[in-house]
Amino acid sequence: MTGSAGLGDTGTFGGAGDAGLLSPVSASPLVGALTGDQAVLAAILAVESGWAAVLEKAGLAAAGSAAVVSAAAEPGRYSVAGIARRAQGGGNPVIPLLADLRKNVQALDGTGIGAGKAVHTSLTSQDVLDTALMLLARNTVEALLGDLKRTTAALASLAEEHADTLCVGRSLTQHSLPFTFGLRAAQWFHGVAAAGRQLEGLAYPVQFGGAAGTLAAGTVLASGSSSTPFSLADALAAQLGLAAAPAPWHTNRLVVTSLGNALAAVLDAFGKIAADVLFLSRPEVGELAEPRAAGRGVSSAMPQKQNPVLSVLVRSAALQAPQLVAQLHLAAANFNDERPDAAWHTEWPALRQLLALALGAAGHVRELAEGLQSFPDAMRRNLDLAGPLLLAEGVGAAVAPLLGAKDGLTGKEQLQAVVDQTLQAPSGEQAATYRRLLRDAVPAGVLTDLRLEELLDPASYLGEAAGISRRIQAAFPEFAAPTALPDTDVNGDPRG
């Protein structure tokens, strides 16, 4: 190994020395900038700098302290790799970072105002790291929601464009009933919009409790002033743009598990889209295709292949999320005492990985939705594979009540017998067989040829497909409208 890298030359996305080689879904400059080790370090420093500003404004730190601490808290002054190694000594990265921060504050405090007294006073490591991770989560979710709303806008457009595009519905892998591609896109929209609304409803509270969650040191700090530990905590929340907390939440981890649940819900919805596209883009199905881009979908051995890589990456993220959320819940259930031991430590990587996966997948699924290619002719071809048998439910509902008992069979049983006999015929003959047997079973006086053809038209048995699609979009209007396109693509490159 070479010597330790400084902050500026790690070039990492997911941690010191980790460029995402085995996690391509989240290997992007945007994901790295918002969830990588540099982002964690910057968030911790922002909390410490923000706290110094709060103390100075409250008259609890010398005038000018905040400026000194802010200058000392410039992330470029610190080595991620070095701090990560030294974190083993105290069990978390705040402790070694504080040691370096205090040295830098002392070096920059040229006038000797005692700015160092504003650093970390009355806080504990968990206060700082929990608050820093809330900053990290807020910033990441903000970017994630931007991609998510671009995705829902694209899906809403697909739903409207293909409201009448016939395709086949599938149930337990088999053709079931006539469907529309518009409704399929609307259901994709439904899943993503509902998960997005859940994500939008989250709060990112500041953590402030002191060594044991009693605010004892904060009470001493604020004594003799007009401040209280609670007002200082609220001021820190305002300073950082976070939510105020009614009380310390050192061992009450609903904030974290709720965030994890919401991120997993987003990835679930993304995973549904990816799974459908993976199936529908198979050559033998051919109803959809991913947008093409230079170098995407290539095979190392087969030059003719065009792999649906966007969907593969999105699905890979969706399949990882449940285990990560389970880790958050496992940790939450084991937060012992008033400040926990190892359970807290297991929370950090799981939460950060969820954020990285969700943000990475959001960029890919947005590109997929905005450039998805659809092939209505192939959809109709696949719809016609089952022939008129696909309408057997509708025929039964319309005709069975008109038939009297015959040979001891009810009308419904007579029509089921027609279906059973049809299924015994060779597949290429089933369409003609069903029409003939149906015509033989139902007197012309009960069912005219014209009415029969109406019943065997797939467009006649779509139920409320169009209405369902409209109701879905009406329920989530804020997700149906297009939003401003980000200046960069999923790889962080400028858009043309």
Please report how many Cα atoms fall inside a 13 Å half-sphere around the Cα of residue 8, on the Cβ side: 4
**Residue of 141, 115, 100, 96 whose CA lies nearest to 51:** 115
Task: State which H helix or E strand residue 177 sits in.
Answer: strand 174-180
Cα distance between residue 171 and residue 161, in whole Å: 24
Structure tokens at 69: 């601490």
What are the φ and ψ backbone dihedral angles of 298, each rounded to 5 degrees? -80, 155
Residue with tokens 């996966």: 357
DSSP character for 14? S
**Residue of 144, 284, 161, 160 whose CA lies nearest to 202:** 144
177 and 396 in contact (C-beta within 8 Å)?
Answer: no
300 and 9 in contact (C-beta within 8 Å)?
Answer: no
Q: 339 an active-site residue?
A: yes
Q: Long-range contacts made by residues 82-89, C-beta under 8 angstroms, separation at least 24? A: 82/4, 83/41, 84/16, 84/37, 85/4
From 225, 282, 292, 299, the catalytic residue: 299
Distances from the Cα of 65 to the Cα of 55, 96, 202, 241, angstroms: 9, 21, 33, 21
DSSP character for 341? S
Q: 352 an active-site residue?
A: no
Cα distance between residue 47 and residue 12, in whole Å: 22
**Which residues neighbour 356 within 8 Å (Cβ) at sequence distance 6 or greater?**
13, 14, 23, 26, 31, 35, 140
Distance of CA 141 to the CA centre of its chain: 9
DSSP letters for 86-102: HHHHHTSTHHHHHHHHH
From 138, 315, 339, 366, the catalytic residue: 339
Cα distance between residue 56 and residue 123, in whole Å: 15
Rounded to 10 degrees, what is the CA torsion of 31, 33, 34, 35? 70
Strand partners, 205: 243
Residue with tokens 């923000």: 50
Would you name the residues annotated as active-site residues?
Answer: 299, 339
